[in-house]
């Protein structure tokens, strides 16, 4: 070939090898990180849950389904620098606080299936992902709005109000944009509420920030 020395920077082979190295190594790092992360986001067990319930904080990012037996909060943590889910003792869920791991897991399974079968994600966001036509559901269980909805649906507990709303959403309009009727049965509604309660206990690194710190519903009501 010619005897002129070409710069390495314009040499195809240099870039080809660099591209291969960077792509290959990034992929290896991603796979390694994936194993690490999957280990951390595996669901906890009921044993973990009972141990954690002696304190305030969860030891698992994704708790056991039996978290439905407990009262969940969302508090600022000095150590983490953002809000984290908290456990505040036992709480009845549809009249019981002794769901076994199997029972709770079955409810969560039904709820997760329901969330997909009813296509929640194409109006709402879950963990912030989905469509932007309706409120984010990440911490929906903790939403102060349910206090008002309990009165509107004439139910005594939050979970019953949620289940009633999910079964007949367009009957209880709160804004001009309503949720449509999705033929959700009573059993499915119970599963969905369990799914939402469990999701509110997932450690989302502080998303969403300041959730429910401003209780607009109650303030507006007291002003009237």
Partner 1 sequence: MTFIEPFTDMVPSFFGMLNQGPLTLTIFLHTIIILPMFFIYRQEKVRLEREGKQ
Partner 2 sequence: MMTTAYKSKDLATMYFIVATVLFGAQLLMGLIGAVQFLYPEFLFEIFDFSVARTVHINALVVWMLYAMIGSVYFLLPDETGIETVGIELGKLGFYVLTVAITVVVLVYVFIQIGPAAESTIWLINEGREYLEAPRWADIGIVVVVLIFVYNVYATAIKGERTGIVTVLMADLLALAGLYLAGMFFVDNISVDQFWWWWVIHLWVEATWEVFVGGLAAYGLIKMLGASRQVVEMWLWVEVAMLFGSGILGLGHHYFWIGTPEYWWEIGALFSALEPLPLVAMFVHVIYDWGKQAGKNGSNTINNRPAFAWFVMNAFGNFLGAGIWGFFHTLPQVNIYTHGTQFTNAHGHLAFFGAYATILIGMFYLNLQSKNGIERMRSTFNSKMAISLISFGVMGMTIALTVAGYGQVLVERAQMGATWDAFFISQQAQWFVQGMGWRLAMGIVTIVGFVYLAIDLLSISKVNHEKV
Compute the distance between CA of residue 171 and CA of residue 180 in angstroms, rounded to an integer.
9
Q: Determine the number of helices (DSSP H) and then strands (DSSP E) in the chain.
A: 7, 4
Q: Do residues 212 and 144 lie in contact, with contact meaning Cβ atoms separated by under 8 Å? A: yes
d(CA 184, CA 179): 12
The nearest distance, CB 222 to partner 2, in angstroms, is 14
Spatial CA neighbour of 196 closest among 111, 135, 109: 111
| Site residues, partner 1 (CB under 8 A) | 1, 3-6, 8, 11, 13-14, 17-18, 21-22, 25-26, 29, 33, 36, 39-40, 58-61, 79-81, 203
Label the pairing between strands 70-77 and 129-130: unpaired
**In the bound complex, what is the minimum distance in angstroms from residue 55's beta carbon to partner 2?**
20
Least Cβ distance, residue 216 to partner 1 (angstroms): 31
Structure tokens at 197: 């309660």
In angstroms, what is the minimal distance from the CB of 189 to partner 1?
Answer: 32
Cβ distance to partner 1 smaller for residue 27 or 218:
27
- Residue 93 is classified by DSSP as B
Residue 85's binding partner among partner 2, partner 1, none (Cβ under 5 to 8 angstroms by kind) is: none
Please state the separation of Cα 204 from the chain's center in Å. 8
CA neighbor of 91 nearest in space, from 157, 154, 162, 155 = 157
Pick from partner 2, partner 1, none: which does 3 bind, CB < 5 to 8 A by kind? partner 1
Report the partner that residue 113 touches, choosing among partner 1, partner 2, none (CB closer than 5 to 8 A by kind): partner 2
CB of 13 to partner 1, least distance (A): 6
Pick the closer one to partner 2 by CB: 55 or 128.
128
Minimum CB distance to partner 2 smaller for 164 or for 203: 203
Select the binding partner of residue 6 from partner 1, partner 2, none (C-beta < 5 to 8 A, by kind).
partner 1
- Residue 79 contact, options partner 2, partner 1, none, Cβ 5-8 Å cut-off depending on partner type: partner 1
**Cα 168 from Cα 188, distance rounded (Å):** 13
């Amino acid at each position: 070939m010619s005897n002129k020395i070409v710069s390495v920077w314009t040499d195809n082979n240099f870039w080809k090898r660099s591209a291969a190295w960077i792509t290959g190594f990034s992929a290896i790092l991603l796979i390694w990180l994936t194993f690490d992360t999957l280990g951390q986001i595996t669901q906890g067990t009921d044993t973990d849950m009972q141990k954690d319930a002696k304190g305030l904080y969860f030891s698992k990012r994704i708790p056991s389904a039996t978290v439905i037996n407990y009262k969940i909060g969302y508090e600022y943590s000095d150590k983490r620098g953002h809000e984290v889910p908290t456990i505040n003792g036992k709480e009845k869920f549809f009249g019981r606080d002794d769901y076994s791991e199997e029972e709770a897991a079955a409810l969560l399974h039904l709820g997760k299936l329901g969330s997909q079968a009813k296509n929640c994600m194409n109006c709402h966001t879950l963990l912030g992902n989905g469509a932007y036509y309706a409120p984010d559901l990440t911490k929906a269980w903790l939403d102060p709005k349910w206090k008002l909805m309990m009165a509107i649906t004439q139910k005594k507990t939050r979970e019953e109000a949620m289940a009633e709303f999910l079964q007949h959403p367009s009957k209880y309009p709160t804004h001009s944009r309503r949720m449509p009727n999705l033929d959700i049965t009573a059993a499915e509604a119970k599963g969905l509420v369990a799914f939402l309660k469990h999701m509110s206990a997932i450690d989302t690194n502080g998303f969403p920030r300041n959730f429910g710190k401003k209780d607009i519903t109650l303030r507006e009501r007291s002003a009237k």
